[in-house]
């Protein structure tokens, strides 16, 4: 199954449905990271609370991003010590990352234009969000290829040959 999702459908399909189904690991790759809120029951909470809950449940989370998160994200981050203390939460900063992808348990993935921001993947009003498009897939051939590529980022496979290494704030290798 491969399904096109647009605009606010992305929040519903990815942040509510897919993230709600995570049992083993969640990988998020994004260029931009800002404070974003998602629905949790009848209230809206910082997405960091969802990530903290996942880590507390023993679920591994990898967050790849291209630049330092916005100030409100950084303030919220400090409110979730699980994200600072647990080996299950890993953050990779790579200034060349421009991909936007969410991978759930190696079973399902979203690849599209939406960043990890309120106007991208968050729960913003349809009148205030970005115009976004992407695909959700459970195609195992495509998932394997995407996961191998993301794992290569994580392992630093691209670091040694990167021509922006001098500008990189946190080289992996």
Q: What is the pLDDT of residues 73-88, one digit of tens each?
A: 888 898 999 999 999 9
CA 14, 65, 155, 134 torsion-angle sign: positive
Q: Span 134-144, mean pLDDT?
A: 98
pLDDT band at 168 (very low <50, low <70, confident <90, very high): confident
pLDDT band at 55 (very low <50, low <70, confident <90, very high): very high
pTM for this entry: 0.94
What pLDDT is recorded for position 125?
82
pLDDT band at 67 (very low <50, low <70, confident <90, very high): confident
Homologous superfamily (CATH) for 2-167: Endonuclease Chain A (3.30.870.10)
163 has pLDDT over 90: no
Domain locations in the chain? 2-167
What pLDDT is recorded for position 128?
85
What pLDDT is recorded for position 79?
93
pLDDT band at 122 (very low <50, low <70, confident <90, very high): confident
Q: Check residue 121 and report its DSSP letter.
A: T
Provide the token pair at 16.
Answer: 């509510």
Helix (H) or strand (E) holding 79: none
What pLDDT is recorded for position 53?
97
What pLDDT is recorded for position 66?
92
173 has pLDDT over 80: no
Contacts of residue 64, defined as CB under 8 A and 6 or more positions apart, other chains included, come to 27, 28, 29, 30, 91, 92, 93, 94, 97, 99, 150, 153, 154
């Amino acid at each position: 199954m491969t399904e096109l999702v647009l605009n606010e459908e992305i929040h519903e399909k990815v942040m509510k449905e897919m993230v709600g189904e995570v049992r083993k690991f969640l990988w998020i790759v994004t260029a931009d990271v800002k404070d974003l809120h998602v629905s949790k029951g009848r209230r809206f909470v910082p997405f960091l609370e969802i990530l903290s809950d996942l880590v507390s449940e023993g679920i591994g989370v990898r967050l790849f991003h291209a630049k330092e998160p916005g100030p409100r994200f950084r303030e919220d981050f400090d409110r979730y010590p699980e994200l600072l203390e647990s080996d299950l939460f890993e953050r990779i900063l790579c200034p060349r990352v421009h991909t936007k992808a969410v991978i759930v348990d190696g079973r399902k993935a979203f690849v599209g234009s939406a960043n990890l921001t309120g106007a991208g993947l968050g729960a913003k009003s349809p009148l205030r969000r970005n115009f976004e498009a992407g695909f959700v897939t459970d195609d195992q051939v495509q998932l394997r290829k995407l996961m191998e590529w993301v794992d290569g980022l994580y392992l630093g496979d691209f670091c040694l040959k990167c021509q922006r290494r001098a500008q990189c704030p946190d080289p992996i290798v």
